[in-house]
Homo-oligomer: A and B are copies of this chain.
Amino acid sequence: MSDPLPSSRPVRPSRLSVNQETVKQWSLPELAEGCAKEGIGSVGLWRAPVQEYGVERAARLMRDAGLTVTSLCRGGFLTDPSGATRARALDDNRAAIDEAAVLGTDTLVLVSGGLPPGDKDLVGARERVADALAVLGPCAEERGVRLAIEPLHPMFASDRCVVSTLGQALDLAERFPAHQVGVVVDTYHVWWDDQAPTQIVRAGAGGRLHAFQLADWITPLPAGVLLGRGQLGDGCVHFRSFRELVDATGFTGPIEVEIFNEELWSRDGTEVLRETAERFRTYA
């Protein structure tokens, strides 16, 4: 399979949304200014830097720069069974929903959480995520926000996210209304899965494809494996196939590039932004 597919049509460049983690070296004002200068109209934001800057202030900054916020990362971490920890997690997710609403995005990305210490019961942990979604779904709906369950690569199943596949994410999401709970398709996490194409169709048909994110798979993985994502084109993900699968469901939304990579973070932000936009046009 050559890459990109010669028969396929290039992506509309304006669909690019740059997740702020891709240019983590930038402050929020630098991100706003840099994106505006490079003609990038959309960004995905993370809670910690937004909270640090001030949520209302960040919302104003993005609005003033003409930027659309396509998602907020992340709520979740809902697997702890203990009463107090669980109550705190639910409160934190309610706060995340509010923050998303203030930022003007309708999509809050949820990372489910891993196994609590000493716990070996993945099924039980996934059930606790479902219980939490039953509480949080209506809260999100009230604020015009959709909860988007992100399956993470199975290498994160124990310590970060007990939801490892799109199939599992949809099994969870489908217990709730589609305008409350859907899924994120992130190529980094699902590229290896032969069931992903079928599950993308399923997500689209149910109106549950809430967000689409890109990062490449490169090896060797670094210790801890969290920061091993690759710039588009540097690895083995066939982005155009995924984009065409997603588009074929009727999805016309933004496509976020979200890369955690220390080498990218050590470079000039504008250079990374330009490279990302170019790779997006070439590979997505």
- Residues in A lying within 8 Å of B, measured CB to CB: 1, 3, 115, 119-124, 126, 153-155, 157-159, 164-165, 167-168, 191-195, 217, 219-225, 235-238
Contacts and interface: CB of A to CB of B under 8 A. Distances in A.
Nearest to A117: B236
**Residue of A126, A154, A164, A193 with most partner-chain B CB within 10 A:** A154
Contact of A221 (B194, B217, B221): B221
Contacts of A220: 159, 223-225
Contact of A194 (B121, B168, B237): B168
10 contacts: A1-B121, A120-B237, A126-B194, A153-B154, A157-B192, A157-B217, A159-B220, A164-B194, A220-B224, A222-B223
Nearest to A190: B154
Nearest to A197: B123
B223 A221 contact: yes
B122 A192 contact: yes
A224 B219 CA distance: 8
A108 B221 CA distance: 28
Contact of A236 (B119, B192, B195, B217): B119
Contacts of A192: 122, 154, 157-158, 164
Contacts of A155: 153-155, 221, 225
Given A164-B193, A220-B224, A223-B223, A3 B154 contact: no
Nearest to A219: B159
A121 B238 contact: yes
Contact of A124 (B1, B219, B235): B1
Contacts of A222: 223
A119 B1 contact: yes
A219 B164 contact: no
Nearest to A225: B221
A249 to B, nearest CB: 20
Given A157-B217, A158-B219, A221-B221, 19 more contacts: A1-B120, A1-B121, A120-B238, A122-B194, A153-B155, A154-B154, A155-B221, A157-B191, A158-B217, A158-B236, A159-B220, A165-B194, A167-B194, A167-B195, A168-B194, A220-B223, A221-B225, A222-B223, A225-B225
